[in-house]
Amino acid sequence: MKILVVGGGGREHALVWKIAQSPLVAKVWCAPGNPGIAQLAECVDIAADDLGGLLAFALEQDVDLTVVGPEAPLTLGIVDRFRAAGLTIFGPTQAAARLEGSKGFSKDLMAKYGIPTAAYRRFADRDEAVAYIRNQGAPIVVKADGLAAGKGVVVATSVEQAVAAVDEIMVAGVFGAAGAEVVIEEFMDGEEASFFVFTDGKNILPLASAQDHKRIFDGDQGPNTGGMGAYSPAPVVTPELHRKIIESIVRPTIDGMAREGCPYAGILYVGLMIAKGKARVVEYNARFGDPEAQPLLMRLKSDIVPVLLGCARGEMRQSELEWHDKAAVCVVMASGGYPGSYEKGFAISGLEEAAKIEDLFVFHAGTAAKDGQIVNSGGRVLGVTGLGRSVAEAIAKAYEGTALISWPGAQYRRDIGQKALNRNG
Ligand code: AMP
Ligand code: GLY
């Protein structure tokens, strides 16, 4: 079978790494890929949002299955276009990807189907939004309706900060059309977790639990990022809570989408806030998490390809996934200055030494090849992922890797996975 993976970050490296191990697979391409992916697949120089270019390539190469990593092509309708051309593709349609692409759509769906989430109101008028904020008080959360590269959410600790956020989104228009509407939402306290299920639009296949670390600095300080590290399993999701999440959140979401006439197939990422043994939805994403995909896929024992195919064809037959009996921890190494501006092009040392360590894998995200060297080329550069018999051992393994790797300005958190240890211990 010939597979095309769309994207070029750490998540796509993990997908390619797992897909390439399947005995069903004869050839893997990745568009655009990165130098780490290039060691496992043939990278093709087509951008992840160049739908026409990707479609032409898939038709020309007779690709059997296309797997979409990032949200941008999904919200642009890559799945609809590939299906219309008779191709098999893993991911939600454009209408279903609104679960991630429009906060207003997802909040309305949750309200309609009784799915637990923060109380909210939608506003297309700046003054009405501001009046509502003044009435509610702080803390309060302001969200641009559309996709804003992970930057469209402000958790405001004061009314002034919330009003300033509304003005930035709606008046200054920093996110363009994505900010024509805002969602103003109740602040939820608790611990966040990432919950993933594969689905063909009807059947649900949950993955192991995982947790991300969104803030740039240790102790969850500083600005939000795409994610600075992740681990699996996450003890905050107890077996009892796992069952409740499926029953009260995942099942009604998948059934609700089908009833709305836009069945959701692919991987559904539910961002949760957990407090007092109860989970509420923070947001949905229409894709795998990055970096959660890295530790999850390293732990996954089952062949992923039949699952991806089943979801893509609307006939997933698997009812359970098999997992390695090990924990996994991914520490993201980022460029100095990220999530603000940063310098690119520094040679990365230590990758070969790290590659020799057992139970360690270094996924590439923002890297590029230059003059025979690997250099940093993005904010999040590497996902250094370790396996161990416990989270503690997996943490030690991942940091054994980060200690070997360096470039000028490289930064990473020293406390990835500690939350799991605190909970266990
Ligand atoms: P989102 O893009 O909706 O996931 O928001 C980004 C981050 O903002 C989340 O991961 C949370 O840390 C935080 N956040 C979003 N909504 C809320 C909320 N209602 N209460 C507290 N924190 C939130
Ligand atoms: N790890 C957060 C995300 O993928 O959005």
pLDDT (tens digit per residue) in 168-179: 999 888 888 888
Q: Which domain holds residue 175?
A: 125-180
List pLDDT tens digits, range 95-135: 999 999 999 999 999 999 999 999 999 999 999 999 999 99
- CB of 118 closer than 6 angstroms to any ligand 1 atom: yes
Within this chain, do residues 366 and 308 fall inside the same structural domain, yes or no?
no
Percent of the chain predicted with pLDDT > 90: 92
Task: Give CA separation, 404 vs 75, 176, 349, 353, in Å.
Answer: 39, 42, 8, 7
322 inside domain: no
Residues 336, 339, 345, 348, Cα dihedral to 10°: 60
204 lines ligand 1 (CB under 6 A): no
Q: Is residue 23 part of a domain?
A: yes
Structure confidence by residue, pLDDT tens digits, 113-124: 999 999 999 999
User: What pLDDT digit, counting tens, does each position of 342-357 carry?
Assistant: 999 999 999 999 999 9
Of the candidates 287, 313, 339, which is a domain's last residue? Answer: 313
Probe target for ligand 2 pocket from 100, 194, 282, with the most ligand atoms within 8 Å of CB: 194
How sure is the predictor about 424, in pLDDT bands with cuts at 50, 70 and 90? low
Q: Are residues 10 and 86 in the same domain?
A: yes
Task: Reduce the DSSP state of residue 135 to 3 states and report it.
Answer: helix
- Which residue's C-alpha comes closest to atom 3 of ligand 2? 289
305 and 390 both lie in a single domain: no
Give the chain's mean pLDDT: 96
| Residues 157-203 pLDDT 10s | 999 999 999 999 998 888 888 888 899 999 999 999 999 999 999 99
368 sits in which H/E element: strand 367-370
> What is the percent of the chain where pLDDT is above 70?
99
Judge whether 98 lies within some domain.
Answer: no
Q: Is 148 in the pocket of ligand 1 (CB under 6 A)?
A: no
Domain for residue 61, yes or no?
A: yes
The total domain count for the chain is 4
Q: Are residues 386 and 357 in the same domain?
A: yes
In the three-class reduction of DSSP (H, G, I as helix; E, B as strand; rest coil), residue 277 is classed as coil
Position 103 in a domain: no
Q: Which atom of ligand 1 is nearest to the CA of 103?
A: 3
CATH number at residue 303: 3.30.470.20
- Check pLDDT > 70 for residue 374: yes
Please report how many Cα atoms fall inside a 13 Å half-sphere around the Cα of residue 127, on the Cβ side: 0
In the listed set 117, 147, 180, which residue is the last one of a domain according to the structure?
180
Q: Does residue 59 sit in the same domain as residue 131?
A: no
CA 73–ligand 1 middle distance (angstroms)? 23
| Angle at which helices 159-166 and 126-136 cross, to 10° | 170
Beta bridge partners, 352, equal: none
Across residues 56-80, what is the average pLDDT?
97
Q: What is the pLDDT of residues 262-309, one digit of tens each?
A: 999 999 999 999 999 999 999 999 999 999 999 999 999 999 999 999
Residue with the nearest Cα to atom 5 of ligand 2? 289
Q: What is the CATH number of the domain that holds 149?
A: 3.30.1490.20
pLDDT at 425 over 60: no
Q: Which of 100, 103, 153 to mutate to test the pocket of ligand 1 (most atoms within 8 A of CB)?
A: 153
In the predicted model, what is the mean pLDDT of residues 36-59? 98
Instruction: Tell which one of 115, 283, 292 to mutate to probe ligand 1, the residue whose CB is within 8 A of the most ligand atoms.
Output: 283
